[in-house]
Amino acid sequence: MLPEIVESYLNKYALRGWEIESSELKSISTVIVIPAIREYENIRCLLHSFSENDPKYFDSTLIIFVINNSSLSSCQIKEDNKKSIGLLNSIIECQSATNDELVIKISMSGLKISLIDASSAGKELPQKDSGVGLARKIGMDLALLIFDYNSSSKKILVCLDADCTIDKNYITEIVDNFNSGNLSSAVVNYLHKIECGNEESRAIICYELFLRYYELGLQFAGSPFAFPTIGSTIVCDFESYIKSEGMNKRKAAEDFYFLEKLAKNYPIKKIKTTTIYPSARRSWRVPFGTGQRINRFLAGVQNEYLLYDPKCFRILKEWLIIFTADAHNSVVELLESAKEIDEGLFAFLADQKFETDWQRILKNSKTVEQIRRQKIMWFDGFRTLKLIHYLRDYSYPLINMFDAINSLMTELNLPLPEENSLPGLRMNGNVPGIDTQKKYLEILRNYLQG
């Protein structure tokens, strides 16, 4: 019997037409969902990475690959997906006659591997929604059907991508952190793979600096949305998944919007004791995100070494101190304070119809706790990003990446790369050498992971 909240969620939100193919679906407490499209070689690498994991929780963990495409996908995509399905079926069926050493290794490891075929004729994703969000949703929704709800262990949903590799303690650290810390939602530490000397490495260093800087800025400002929004890092339990109304069907940014919904109900914790390693490759799979940023960098169509002016985060910080205080500020008082902080902030709030919304919220909220919750709901991660973009467009344009990072790092008393210890340090606002860029990234990684 499924819990009532699971039944209710599935009746309201679940999609039909797909199923989990597996040899064993018993005693499952952790499900790792991996969407994959044209990822045969990467699936092999990831499976090898899983096989190196501590087997402590293999018996209670199911790994689901959601092999997906639309009916209009190319023949190359469909053929690659067909190979992936064949590989996974060989593992599921424990084919002893195979000469594939990986299949033998996985079959003997005790890992529970399964697949959802959203690729073969008649099972494809609908063209309108075909993409990573829908693939994740199908896998995560179906996982709700197979959890052992009689077990006292946390029922954990883990998101991962097929082009990642993982640490050897990946499964154990997620399970132990969720159970010992009674976590509801979290993100796992990530480090993009950086090869030496190639242009894709320069691109991913630049992009990860952008990601880390934005997270650093939100953390400096005291935002509750100061966490990385990378799909392959997301972990939640089944209750928080349901309360957040499940994964969305977006073709890109599904991770941002899902984490935002989680964060409105639960603190997003960080699992710092294990790491995933996303690929730094070019990609056509999503219209924006890592792969497209790599494409854009390599195409050289614009200056990538620019970041938001730190003044934007200082304005956000001052606003959040006033806005999130428990004092029952009136709309007039809040707007007056916003105007004193910055004219751009005041204009943004007017543009967002803050006065009308906040009057309604105050009228309908009876307790301090209700008001506190409505503040998080109204000034959410998306509206925070919109404020930063508004200030960028009308008041504080983008500035040199390393000037921006230096400013925030200095304010947070973080050590800057020593000018005399590294070659090619930035001069006169230009871009520093790759060794210095790596040093900046190392400092940001260590600070945000610490």
- Write the pLDDT tens digit of every residue in 241-289: 999 999 999 988 899 999 999 999 999 999 999 999 998 755 544 555 5
Per-residue confidence (pLDDT) for residue 164, from 0 to 100: 96
According to DSSP, residue 285 is labeled: S
Clarify whether residues 112 and 40 are in a common domain.
Answer: yes
Per-residue confidence (pLDDT) for residue 284, from 0 to 100: 41
Clarify whether residues 244 and 363 are in a common domain.
Answer: no
pLDDT digits (tens, 9 = 90+) for 34-76: 999 999 999 999 999 999 999 999 999 999 999 999 999 999 9
Clarify whether residues 267 and 230 are in a common domain.
Answer: yes
- Find the domain containing 385 and state its range: 310-394
In terms of phi and psi (left: phi > 0; alpha: psi -120 to 50; beta: otherwise), the region of 378 is: alpha
35 assigned to some structural domain:
yes
Per-residue confidence (pLDDT) for residue 95, from 0 to 100: 58
- Number of structural domains, the chain? 3
Range from 8-22, 277-291, 319-333 that averages highest in pLDDT? 8-22
235 φ, ψ (degrees, to nearest 5): -140, 140
Clarify whether residues 14 and 128 are in a common domain.
Answer: yes
- Residue 337: pLDDT band by 50, 70, 90 thresholds? very high
Q: Which of 15-29, 189-203, 288-302 has the lowest mean pLDDT?
A: 288-302
d(CA 142, CA 242): 12
Pairing of strands 156-159, 234-237: antiparallel
Range from 184-188, 278-282, 436-440 that averages highest in pLDDT? 184-188
Per-residue confidence (pLDDT) for residue 282, from 0 to 100: 57
> Do residues 1 and 145 touch, judged by C-beta distance below 8 A?
no
d(CA 9, CA 137): 13
Clarify whether residues 380 and 407 are in a common domain.
Answer: no
Mean pLDDT in residue range 411-423: 73
Clarify whether residues 234 and 335 are in a common domain.
Answer: no
Per-residue confidence (pLDDT) for residue 327, from 0 to 100: 79
Clarify whether residues 356 and 444 are in a common domain.
Answer: no
Q: Which of 139-148, 223-232, 429-438 has the lowest mean pLDDT?
A: 429-438
Identify which has the larger pLDDT, 298 or 309: 309
Per-residue confidence (pLDDT) for residue 190, from 0 to 100: 97
Per-residue confidence (pLDDT) for residue 424, from 0 to 100: 47
How many CA atoms, within 13 angstroms, populate the side-chain half-sphere of residue 383? 19
Q: Which of 71-85, 99-113, 141-155, 203-217 has the lowest mean pLDDT?
A: 99-113
Residues 6+ apart with CB under 8 A from 109: 50, 51, 55, 58
393 φ, ψ (degrees, to nearest 5): -75, -30
Structure tokens at 272: 């710092």
Percent share of the chain, pLDDT over 70: 94
Clarify whether residues 135 and 175 are in a common domain.
Answer: yes
Per-residue confidence (pLDDT) for residue 182, from 0 to 100: 97
Per-residue confidence (pLDDT) for residue 99, from 0 to 100: 83
Identify which has the larger pLDDT, 341 or 366: 341
Axis crossing angle, helix 254-263 with helix 381-394, rounded to the nearest 10: 120
d(CA 116, CA 81): 12
Clarify whether residues 31 and 64 are in a common domain.
Answer: yes
Determine how many CB atoms are found less than 10 A away from the CB of residue 369. Answer: 10
pLDDT digits (tens, 9 = 90+) for 372-388: 999 999 999 999 999 99
Clarify whether residues 190 and 338 are in a common domain.
Answer: no
42 assigned to some structural domain:
yes
Tokens 């200056």 map to which residue? 303
Using only C-alpha atoms, the chain has a radius of gyration, in whole angstroms, of 23
Mean pLDDT in residue range 404-413: 95
> Do residues 381 and 261 touch, judged by C-beta distance below 8 A?
no
230 assigned to some structural domain:
yes
140 assigned to some structural domain:
yes
Tokens 């467009």 map to which residue? 393
| SS3 category, 235 | strand
127 φ, ψ (degrees, to nearest 5): -55, -40
According to DSSP, residue 201 is labeled: H
CA dihedral 215, 411, 201, 260 (to 10 degrees): 0
Q: What is the mean pLDDT of the chain?
A: 92
d(CA 59, CA 158): 16
Determine how many CB atoms are found less than 10 A away from the CB of residue 76. Answer: 9
Q: What is the CATH number of the domain that holds 102?
A: 3.90.550.10
- Residue 292: pLDDT band by 50, 70, 90 thresholds? confident
Is residue 98 classed exposed, middle or buried when 0-12, 13-18 and 19+ CB atoms within 10 A define those classes?
middle
> Do residues 280 and 194 touch, judged by C-beta distance below 8 A?
yes
**Dihedral sign, CA of 412, 303, 279, 230?**
positive
Per-residue confidence (pLDDT) for residue 422, from 0 to 100: 47
Clarify whether residues 275 and 365 are in a common domain.
Answer: no
Nearest Cα to 156, choosing from 49, 56, 238? 238
Per-residue confidence (pLDDT) for residue 301, from 0 to 100: 84
Per-residue confidence (pLDDT) for residue 311, from 0 to 100: 98
Clarify whether residues 182 and 256 are in a common domain.
Answer: yes
Mean pLDDT in residue range 223-235: 96
